């Protein structure tokens, strides 16, 4: 089955700096790669996603890149703000279509220092 | 956007009793619902996948007789933790999925068994 590895586990940056979180996946049939932000005591919130037919996607300060050959995808947050502090999870579907299960990475705790 | 409502948000129960958690898709019909468990400072671990009108598919190591899942309609799935014990204390999160809607997560349920 699918296995998703996420790094780093913790990341501390100064406000205004960029933050990058990286994930690798194992199932070459995976075609959907979402990123979630989770605040304490809440469910995950989708912040951006990318499908396998696209190499990069951007939404304001957030971007995701995908390298299908290497089975890597990364989250880039520019101009970080204290409210970006949270736990971020990458995920990949198991390749069985739009309703296939999502497998999550281990999570990255991002701290943005004011 | 798609909204998933999960109730209760928190529950405390005595050891040996059963607890039911509800997950509803409010503005779309979810062909598939997923149940996750999350321990403190850990990732989301998939417990089971359920499709409307059929039996749930449980992940390896998850006891199907302990975690009863019912997906009676396209908008409602329930997870019942039977004969709960302190080690079942965790954060339970549901996710609803449908074509063109991606995956939408509930706000989670904090279960404490005393």
3-state secondary structure chain B: CCCEEEECCEEEECCCCCEEEEEEECCCCCCEEEEEEECCCCCCEEEEEEECCCCCEECCCCCCCCEEEEEEECCEEEEEECCCCHHHCEEEEEEEEECCCEEEECCCEEEEEC
Rounded to a whole number, what is the distance in Å from the CA of A78 to chain B's nearest CA?
Answer: 24
From B47, which residue of chain A is nearest by alpha-carbon distance? A101
Among B8-12, B19-23, B97-101, B106-110, where is mean pLDDT lowest? B97-101
Confidence of residue B102 (pLDDT cuts 50, 70, 90): confident
- Residue B86 is predicted with a pLDDT of 97
Nearest to B8 by CA among B99, B63, B81: B81
- Tens of pLDDT along B15-66? 999 999 999 999 889 889 999 999 999 999 999 999 888 889 999 999 999 9
Return per-residue pLDDT of chain A as tens, 114 residues.
Answer: 789 999 999 999 999 999 999 999 999 989 999 999 999 999 999 999 999 888 999 999 999 999 999 999 999 999 999 999 999 999 999 876 545 889 999 999 999 999
Does B54 contact A at CB distance below 8 Å? Answer: no
* A34 contacts in chain B (CB < 8 Å): 102-103
Closest residue on chain B to A43 (Cα):
B107
Give per-residue pLDDT as tens, B70-85: 988 889 999 999 999 9
CA–CA distance, B88 with A96 (Å, rounded to integer): 30
Chain A residues in contact with chain B using a Cβ-Cβ cutoff of 8 Å: 32, 34, 36, 41-46, 49, 89, 98-99, 101-107
Q: Cβ of B107 and A43 within 8 Å?
A: yes
Tokens for B10, please give them.
Answer: 């928190």
């Amino acid at each position: 089955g699918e296995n998703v590895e996420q790094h780093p586990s913790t990341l501390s940056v100064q406000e205004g700096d960029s933050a990058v979180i990286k994930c690798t996946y194992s199932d070459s049939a995976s075609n959907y790669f979402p990123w979630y932000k989770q605040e304490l005591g809440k469910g995950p919130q989708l912040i951006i996603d990318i499908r396998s037919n696209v190499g990069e996607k951007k939404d304001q300060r957030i971007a995701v890149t995908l390298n299908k050959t290497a089975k890597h995808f990364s989250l880039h947050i520019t101009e970080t703000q204290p409210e970006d502090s949270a736990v971020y999870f990458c995920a990949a579907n198991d390749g069985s279509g739009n309703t296939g299960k999502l497998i999550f990475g281990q999570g990255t705790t991002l701290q943005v220092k004011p | 956007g798609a909204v998933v409502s999960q109730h209760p948000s928190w529950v405390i129960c005595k050891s040996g009793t059963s607890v039911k958690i509800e997950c509803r898709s409010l503005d779309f019909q979810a062909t598939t619902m997923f149940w996750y468990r999350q321990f403190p400072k850990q990732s989301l671990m998939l417990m089971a996948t359920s499709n409307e009108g059929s039996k749930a598919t449980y992940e390896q190591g998850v006891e199907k007789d302990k975690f009863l899942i019912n997906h009676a309609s396209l908008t409602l799935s329930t997870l019942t933790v039977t004969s709960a014990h302190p080690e079942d204390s965790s954060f339970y999160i549901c996710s609803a999925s449908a074509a063109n809607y991606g995956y939408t997560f509930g706000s989670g349920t904090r279960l404490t068994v005393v």
